[in-house]
Every structure is written in C-alpha cells, then in structure tokens.
Structure 1
Amino acid sequence: MNSSIKFPFYVRLSFMVISLIGITYILCIGKSVLIPILMAFLIAVLLLPIVRFLNSKLRFPNVLSSSIAVFLFVSLIVGVLAFISYQISDIADDFAEIRKNVNLFIVDIQRFIKVNFQVSFWEQRKYIEDVTQDSVEKGKETIGTTILSVTDTILDLTLIPIYTFLILLYKTHFVLFLAKLFRKEYHAKLQEILTQIKGAVQSYISGLILEMIAVSVLTSIGLYFIGVKYAILLGIITGILNLVPYVGILVAGVLTILSSLTGTPELSMILGVIMVNIVVQIIDNNILVPLIINTKVQINAFVSIVGIIIGSQIAGISGMFLAIPLLAILKIVFDKIESAEPWGYLMGNNLPKTFKWKKIKPQKDL
C-alpha cells in the first residue's frame, strides 16, 4: 500500500525554499567545521581509485591503503609548496631591485599623468599620501582579523588530511548509513546517485588539475619568451591561483607584474606580461574550460556565477572553490528526484533553440 502524501506545488516549493534557507544558514554558522570536511570529501573522492587499486591489486588492508593515498597526496602538495617557497626566497633576494624598478616605474607614470592630464607631482603625491594613510588606518583595524584567519587556515590544513583519511577509512560505513535512511525499493536509485556523484567529482577535480597544468605550462612558456626572470615559478603560481574563479587570475597577474620588475622597469615588459596573461586566459576560457571542465560538469554559466558569488559570501575563497562541485552534486540529486527534476533542468547546460506552448482549447462555461 502506497502511504505517500502528494502535496500541492506551492507547498512543495515552500518546503524547498525553507530547506535551502536552512542549509545556507547552517553553512554560515558552521563553515569553520563544514568547509574542511567538504574539502576533505572532494579529496577523498579523488583518491578513491588509488585506495581501490591498493586494496584489490596489492591486497593492502584498508587502513594502510588510505594512509598511503593520503601520504602521497600530502607529499605532492608539500613538494609543490617547497619548490614555490625556495623560488620565492630567490625573489626576496631581488627585493631591493624590485623596489628600485617600482619607483622608476611610478616616476614614469607620474610624468605621463603630468604631461597628459596637467596634474602636478605635488598633487599626485598628496593624493597618494591620503590614500596610503586611510589604508594604514584600515589595515590596523584588520590585523587581528588577519591573524585569526591565518590561524584558521593553518588549522584547516592540519585537519583536512585527517578528515580525508577518516572518510576513506569509513567510506563503506557511510554508504551503509545512507542505505539505512531509505527503504530498500529506493536503494537502486540511491546507488545510481552515489555513482554519478563520485564520477562527477572525480572528473571535475581531475579536470581542474589538467587545466592547472595547462595554464602553468602556457604561462611559463609565454613569460620565458618575453624574458621574465622567474617564468616557471610565476607560471606555476598562475596555474594554482587560476583554480580560484575570477579572483585568482587577477592576483596572479599582479604578482607576475611585480616579479617582472626584477629585471627592468620598462613599460614594454609589463605590457608583455599583461598580454601573456590575456592570451592564456583566452585559450583557457575558450578551449580548455569547454573541453576539460564543461564536459565534466553540466552546469550553465548563470547558475555557476551565482553559486560562486554565494559561496564567496559564505566562506570566501574556499566557498568559491567548493561552489561548482556542490552545485554538480545538487544537480545530480535533483535530476533523480521526480519532484525536483525541474530545478535540475534549470541548473543544466542544455540550450533549446525554441519553445512553443501547447495550444489549449478554451472551455465553455456550463
């Protein structure tokens, strides 16, 4: 006997809106706990093939397989960070040269403004001093917040590998928990949802890694040909920061311009750096992203941008990074639930050419 109750549309819509509001509120107040867990979940899904290979092919126990997978991942991250830190120490040795070239570049800019806009050096200097003073006062107010943010980041970097290991260790336990939440007739659909979520997350994260490598290589080659001193380092930094939507590439561009001043203060070098970043972004947005990312996650650009903005408001950079995979998971769930299927279609990337309403014959009054 089917005991399910069918509610009217406005009731189901109200429940869904209330649920979204509740989930958003929980994420806002519990982001310090939930964000590291979500990051660990994505990493665990990415490492799952390694764990299964060690389990099935090499007959390693689950504890050892999970430990080795997490150790390899952490070692890779530490190796990349060590290389970047070593190269940054070389840039620090050239800090005096960078400062001198920055001053020369600023003088050239001030001379250009004076000649073309009739603004004297004194007026420019006065404006810069006023802006700098306001920035210093605001900076003093945010020092405590910055220290707390750095402390939270260090704590998250410590907890994420631990969470990842535990998720890999108890993955079967979590699946059985989900199975106990639903009746047996829904287990086939639940299994299908979990399989698609695993495939989507693995494809998305692996696609991001491929995109990061491609952007790093292209940027390094471009910077090398225009004569930038630390081309490989700046290319790697650009590829890593490109993982953060919209904001990351701007930060990478500023760092690249500052680092290029180790060699010369000429405007041609800075213009060359800007052109390299623009060309790489054109290739990334028009070739790499459609080829690598959009084929993995079928979410339209409007929903992606809105999700990234909401994620940034909730959890900053971490929220921006997590927005797309979480939206992909939501779309998979919506597509498999009949009452939520229209929302899954709304998030999708299918663009119908035309749509015509069916003609309905007017009913005669009785």
Structure 2
Amino acid sequence: MSNRKTSPSIILAANLLIGVILVFILWVLKDVLVPLAFAGILAILLLPVCAFLERKRFPRVLAISLTILIVFGIVILVITLMVGQIRSLDEVWPQMLEKGEEWLKMGQNLLSEKLNMQQAEQLTKGREYLTELLKSSSSLISGTLSNTTGFLANLALIPLYVFLMLLYRDFFEEFLFKLFKNVAHDSVLVVTNKIKDVAQNYMSGLILVILIIGALNTLSLLLLGIENAFFFGFFAAVLVLVPYIGVAIGSILPIILALITKDSAWYAVGVAISFGVIQFLEGNFITPYIVGSKVSINSFAAIVALILFGNLWGIGGLVLALPLTAIVKVLFDSIDKLKPWGFLLGDVEED
C-alpha cells in the first residue's frame, strides 16, 4: 500500500470546494434555515423557563405550551402598544401633506431659478423618471413579494420548531452522544452547555440593551418635544439587533417627523445629535459592557460576519450573525484542529 501524503495544495483545494458548497447550501436553503436558526436560539433562551416549570411538576408538554403562550402574550402586548402609537400618527398626516407641498414648491422654484426649467418641463421630466423607476422596480417588487411570501410561511413555523426542539431536547442530546461516540459524554455536555450559555447570555443581554437604549431615545425625544416619542424611541432601540448601524437607521423617522412638525430645522438637528450620542454610547460602552463580556468576538470578525450573513440571509442574517458566530467560536475552541480559527474570532488580548 502507498504511504504517500496528500499534497497540501489538494487539501487546500478540497477545503475551498467544501466551503463553497456549504455557502451555496446556506444561500439556497435560507428560507428554511433562517427560521430554524431563530427557533434554535429562542428554544435555548426559553429553556430555563421551561425547565423551571418542569421542576414545579408540570408535564413537559404543558410546560412548553405555557412558556410559548407567555412569549405570545408579550409579543401581542408589544404589538398592541405599537399599533396604538401608529394610529396616533394619523394626526400628523395633514402636516406631512402640507409640508410636502411646501417642499415641492421650493424644489420647483429652485429648478426654475438655477436651471431655467419651467413647470411644464419639470412635470414632463418627473413623469419620465417616474415611468423608468416603475419599470425597473416592477420585477424587483414581484421577486421580493414571492420570496417574502415563502419566507413568512416558514417564519410562521417558528413556534412549532421551538415546541419540538424543547420537547425532544433529551433526544437531541442522545443523538450528539451517538454522533461523537469516541468523545467522553462529559466533554460533549461541556460544549453544549457553553453554547447554551453563549446564546442565553447574548439574548438576555441584548434585551437589556434594547430597554436601556429605548429609554434613552424616548427621553431625548421627549426633551425635544417630538411627538410619539415612545414609539420612535423603542423602534430605533429594536434596530440594535442590527449592530453598529441600527440606532442610526432608527433615527431617520424621528428626524423626518421633526422636519415636518416643527417650525425650526434645529429640532431635527437635535434628534440627529442625540441619537448619534446614544449610538456612540451603545457601540462603545453599553453593548460591549452588557453583551460583549458574554460574547467574546473581536470587532473585525463581527463586521465580517455581519457582511457575510447579511449577504446570505438578508435582514435575518444581520440579526443572527453575532450569536451564530459566537456559537461557531465555541465549536472551534472545542476542536483541536480548529482552535486557531477560534482564536482568530476571539477578542484581542491587550498587553
């Protein structure tokens, strides 16, 4: 028998091919994998509540059902509060229309003065641009709607996925023991417990960050006298789920509202500055202190993960990027051959 070693170039090529195939599978099956990933993280997050009820001698099925019902109740309460806030925006619509007409006239006057373009010519050009925009966006809209329909259909299965994952958790644990039969059961349990801790600490920390940022946003909007401060403050806070840019994106709506409802543009500037300060505090102090200590991923790895998962899975990928990367790091740190990659994902130790 030949004892020749496989060429390093062949090994590299094989690894690259496996990576490409894996990424392709992740992209093709995104409508299925994203809800499953959300369900897995939610199941880990809800596990302590379910386990607590089971210790109180609730049957497992009843404990899981009560846990999911509690989550549904919280979600319905949040949606009810948001709908109430959105309805109150009806009072702003007349102001929006009035301000829109004012801006339109200003734009027409600017075009007339600077470009010598008469109103009839402006309308003709506007119709041309609008027609081209509609033509180019029609295929995009139809494709987006078809993809969104399939995604929402799979998203509706998340409660069922969570229920089954919690119900069969002992079965999954036994599967891992059989899969890694050459590894001591204690070692397998250590890794699974680390994954649970990472997911639970990340999500619980993230919820606390959302509450803190929401309170700061709301307070700043109240001080500036912006209407619907509670809604806009916590809407921007929820966008913390999209790291680094979430609060900045959430500031756009209250800035527009300030421009519409206030006599001075300085209110909009005040919203931008206050949200910018909060974004700075969130990115550099609040999130690193509350969440960062629980998820040891360096900034470079986090940004690359956000870009990769965002391109693969869209908005869902942006939300899942950090917890999934943290779980991958735990797995890498547990396998000798992959420990260098786990080191690459981890925090940089300062001298």
Q: Please confirm whether the aligned pair reaches a TM-score higher than 0.5, indicating the same fold.
A: yes
Q: Secondary structure at the match of 2:241?
A: coil
Q: Secondary structure at the match of 1:266?
A: coil
2:199 matched to which residue of 1?
A: 201
One-letter identity of the residue aligned with 1:100: E
One-letter identity of the residue aligned with 2:278: V
Q: Percent identity?
A: 30
Are residues 1:50 and 2:29 paired? no
The structural deviation recorded for 1:111 is 6.9
TM-score, with structure 2 as normaliser: 0.88
Instruction: Count the aligned residue pairs.
Output: 345
1:214 matched to which residue of 2?
A: 212
2:274 matched to which residue of 1?
A: 276
1:242 matched to which residue of 2?
A: 240
One-letter identity of the residue aligned with 1:43: L
The structural deviation recorded for 1:301 is 1.0
Q: Secondary structure at the match of 2:157?
A: helix
CA distance in 2, matches of 1:352, 1:83: 45
Are residues 1:140 and 2:153 paired? no
2:88 matched to which residue of 1?
A: 90
Change (3 A) 1:37 1:51: same
One-letter identity of the residue aligned with 1:194: T
Equivalences for residues 306-325 of structure 1 within 5 A: 306-325=304-323
More moved, 319-328 vs 182-191:
182-191
Q: Deviations over 1:237-257 (max 9, x none)?
A: 111122123554344222222
More moved, 266-275 vs 216-225:
266-275
More moved, 275-284 vs 40-49:
275-284
2:165 matched to which residue of 1?
A: 167
Change (3 A) 1:106 1:238: farther
One-letter identity of the residue aligned with 2:45: L
CA distance in 1, matches of 2:213, 2:111: 35
Equivalences for residues 106-145 of structure 1 within 5 A: 118=114, 131-145=129-143
Equivalences for residues 1-366 of structure 1 within 5 A: 16-56=15-55, 58-105=56-103, 118=114, 131-246=129-244, 248-261=246-259, 263-264=261-262, 266-351=264-349, 353=351
CA contact (8 A) 2:214 2:237 kept: yes
Change (3 A) 1:47 1:121: farther
Q: Deviations over 1:26-69 (max 9, x none)?
A: 1111111111011000111110110111011x211111111111
CA distance in 1, matches of 2:131, 2:60: 58
Q: Secondary structure at the match of 1:183?
A: coil
Change (3 A) 1:343 1:12: farther
What RMSD over aligned residues (CA atoms) do the two structures have, in Å?
A: 2.7
CA distance in 1, matches of 2:267, 2:186: 60
One-letter identity of the residue aligned with 1:205: M
The structural deviation recorded for 1:24 is 1.4
Unaligned ranges ≥5, structure 1: 1-5, 354-366
CA contact (8 A) 1:104 1:265 kept: no
One-letter identity of the residue aligned with 2:51: R
Change (3 A) 1:307 1:185: closer
More moved, 30-39 vs 88-97:
88-97
CA distance in 2, matches of 1:150, 1:92: 28
CA distance in 2, matches of 1:347, 1:15: 23
CA contact (8 A) 2:248 2:275 kept: no
The structural deviation recorded for 1:14 is 5.2
CA contact (8 A) 1:41 1:164 kept: yes
Unaligned ranges ≥5, structure 2: none
Q: Deviations over 1:315-343 (max 9, x none)?
A: 10001111111111111111111111111
CA distance in 1, matches of 2:107, 2:273: 19
One-letter identity of the residue aligned with 1:347: L
More moved, 164-173 vs 82-91:
82-91
